Amino acid sequence: MARKTGEQKTEPTNNSAADDMNNNPYLGLNAVETISRFTDFDIHLFRQGKHFKLYEKLGSHVMEVKGVTGTYFAVWAPNAARISVTGNFNGWNKESHLLSSRWDSSGIWEGWIPNIGVGEVYKYHVVSQNGHQQEKSDPFALWCEVAPRTASIVWDTWYEWQDNDWMQNRQEKNKLNAPISVYEVHLGSWQRDPSEPERYLTYKEIAPQLVAYVQEMGFTHVEFMPVMEHPYPPSWGYQITGYFSCASRMGTPQELMYLIDQLHQAGIGVYIDWVPSHFPGDAHGLFRFDGTALYEHEDPRKGYHPDWKSYIFNYGRNEVKSFLISNAIFWLDRYHTDGLRVDAVASMLYLDYSRNHGEWIPNEFGGRENLEAIALFREMNVAAYTEFPDIQIVAEESTSFPGVSRPVYVGGLGFGMKWMMGWMNDTIKYFEKDPAFRKWHQDQLTFSLVYAFSENFMLPFSHDEVVYGKHSLINKMPGDEWQKFANLRLMFSYMFTHPGTKLIFMGGEFAQTSEWNFQQSLDWHLLEKKMHVGMKECVKALNRLYKSEPAMYEYSFSASGFEWIDTQDRENSVLVFARKAADPEDTLVIVLNMTQVPRKGYRVGVTSEGNWKEIYNSDAVAFGGSGIINYHAVTAESHRWHGKSNSILLDLPPLGAVIVKKDPILRIHPAAAAIMESKS
């Protein structure tokens, strides 16, 4: 059954205004009626920083009043001297449609204008106390004009969702002991029409191709880089001017909802990037909205971000806190998203982030922690998980700040997961090294397990690693072409077998050779080449393995699910470890050979006696490898090795990963069976 979401028609709460209209059912085009959607309780919550659904009140809302359709406007601007609504409907006349300031000193200006509705273009003309005049977009606009135009558009979020099955059962796909493999996507450059390469595809045009591809690849979730309105494409969406509007250059809110709906119907979860850390200084945006530092700090030591030349929200202001938490809830509510990835958390947690001595102000205790941002995160996470207990909120946090993904009630920040940035940096640095020198750097791979269970970590190979001269993933790898591909398959194999959930930025899964360019499509033509097809098949196989083997995900965030078997063979650059599940029979043993030297009959200690069968090999011919496969299951010998009572002999492929699992009977590897069949 379809589920409709969005606003219902709302009667005015101002009874006196309604009574006046009994005598005047038709209102002239120039009339603005003082009607309010706010109750006293709404205002109380707003002032306390506790109103988490402001999008139902502030902004523009089409309402029918006494038989007349019109639009209610409400905007927070406590230091403005006058505000009017301008648009095509009044010839952009800044005098004709003045809003009224509420009597309760809340700083909210409001009014209902008849005979305008969905699709109407508008702005707020704001006059500050010193007489300065400016045209501002609506901070709560549900849609905006396509840049470089900057006006807001009266719109709604009414949509007939078809994803009931997903929404009712998504807890199983989103829980922390489920396999979560995320495909990070920049919608503007994932794919474009070859006949019109400069044109953005719409959300609706992208839907069938993206859904089919993610299904084929076996990812469980997608993560969209910011889908909110941003006028400057080179910001990749991280410089937002319309926090409640989807990016208009790619379509309407309903078209974005359609894309999410289609992904849900295909069993794919959707996370989106959320950016509460900063906003740009565009004249039509939040910057000095009412002529003062309203959303930001007046003092640049707290309100200006030196890295991004943008402005930092005033997290200590209750109304701003309500704005931000309402925005997080909005995307979970109206767009059915399954989670948020919160950008640049570290920049919010520390007052001295990217600042020199004297460029920041300590907190009230003299420390560098931003206590107001910490309080915001805790309140936001509690609010989001209370209303949507089956979502995940993931922090991009690059420091060792304690308890990021621990519950608020034990002193944590309350996030569900945290990006494992240290693992990502160490892993890439290791794999960039020539294999001849890796024996001196094995600690770069083993160190992550020292802290791997201190948080609920997601392992990312994100967009930030393939831009600005950092090279694509495949071109970070050393050696000739064959070695580059083998190294990348090995690195992905290490990623999928390491504890934690997974994230791969688009293009990495088929070894995009050029750096990511937000202005053009991925290089899909590379899939005409065998090695790139092999890489794609390898990632597909890893996703299948990840989802089918409980040892790969049941204890992603617990030491119960991991055991080092051997880290001492530095000379050969071989690592051996086990991943464990609730059922000991599901235990996997993983062997990584980090050099291009094949190792025949390499002895490996295993966790129990019995038969062991290879279930994955990154050197498979289908992946572009050389085909050094362990074709037959082997019976563990009572030969003590690696501190284990039992051991087996394996052939290790060059720059390859081998995964073996207990098998109740001796089986032949499918690849060997295929060879025998072809010979017969």
Kindly list the catalytic residues. 343, 396
Element (H, E) at 606: strand 599-606
Angular region, 674: left φ>0, alpha ψ -120 to 50, beta rest: alpha
Instruction: In whole angstroms, give the CA distance from residue 560 to residue 581.
Output: 8
Beta carbons of 637 and 665 less than 8 angstroms apart: no
Beta carbons of 617 and 591 less than 8 angstroms apart: no
Burial class (CB in 10 A: 0-12, 13-18, 19+), 112: buried
Tell me the two tokens of residue 667. 């089986």
Across the beta sheet with 100-101, what order do the strands follow?
Answer: 59-65, 68-76, 108-114, 100-101
Q: Cα separations (Å) of 121 from 32, 93, 112, 444, 624? A: 17, 13, 15, 55, 55
Nearest Cα neighbor of 445 from 420, 479, 466, 470 is 420
Burial class (CB in 10 A: 0-12, 13-18, 19+), 156: middle
Burial class (CB in 10 A: 0-12, 13-18, 19+), 339: buried
Nearest Cα neighbor of 618 from 555, 517, 559, 537 is 537
Nearest Cα neighbor of 237 from 273, 211, 201 is 273
Beta carbons of 541 and 407 less than 8 angstroms apart: no
Instruction: In whole angstroms, give the CA distance from residue 549 to residue 631.
Output: 20
Contacting residues for 354 by C-beta, under 8 A, at least 6 apart: 305, 306, 307, 347
Contacting residues for 69 by C-beta, under 8 A, at least 6 apart: 62, 63, 114, 115, 117
Instruction: In whole angstroms, give the CA distance from residue 360 to residue 354.
Output: 10
Find the radius of gyration of the CA atoms of the chain.
28
Instruction: In whole angstroms, give the CA distance from residue 305 to residue 367.
Output: 19
Nearest Cα neighbor of 158 from 345, 8, 374, 319 is 8
Nearest Cα neighbor of 442 from 595, 604, 573 is 573
Tell me the two tokens of residue 431. 């794999």
Instruction: In whole angstroms, give the CA distance from residue 622 to residue 544.
Output: 15
Nearest Cα neighbor of 76 from 101, 112, 39 is 101
Instruction: In whole angstroms, give the CA distance from residue 652 to residue 664.
Output: 23
Phi and psi, residue 487, nearest 5°: -60, -40
Instruction: In whole angstroms, give the CA distance from residue 221 to residue 19.
Output: 52
How far is residue 392 CA from its own chain's centroid? 10
Q: In this structure, are strands 310-311 and 304-305 parallel, antiparallel, or unpaired? A: antiparallel
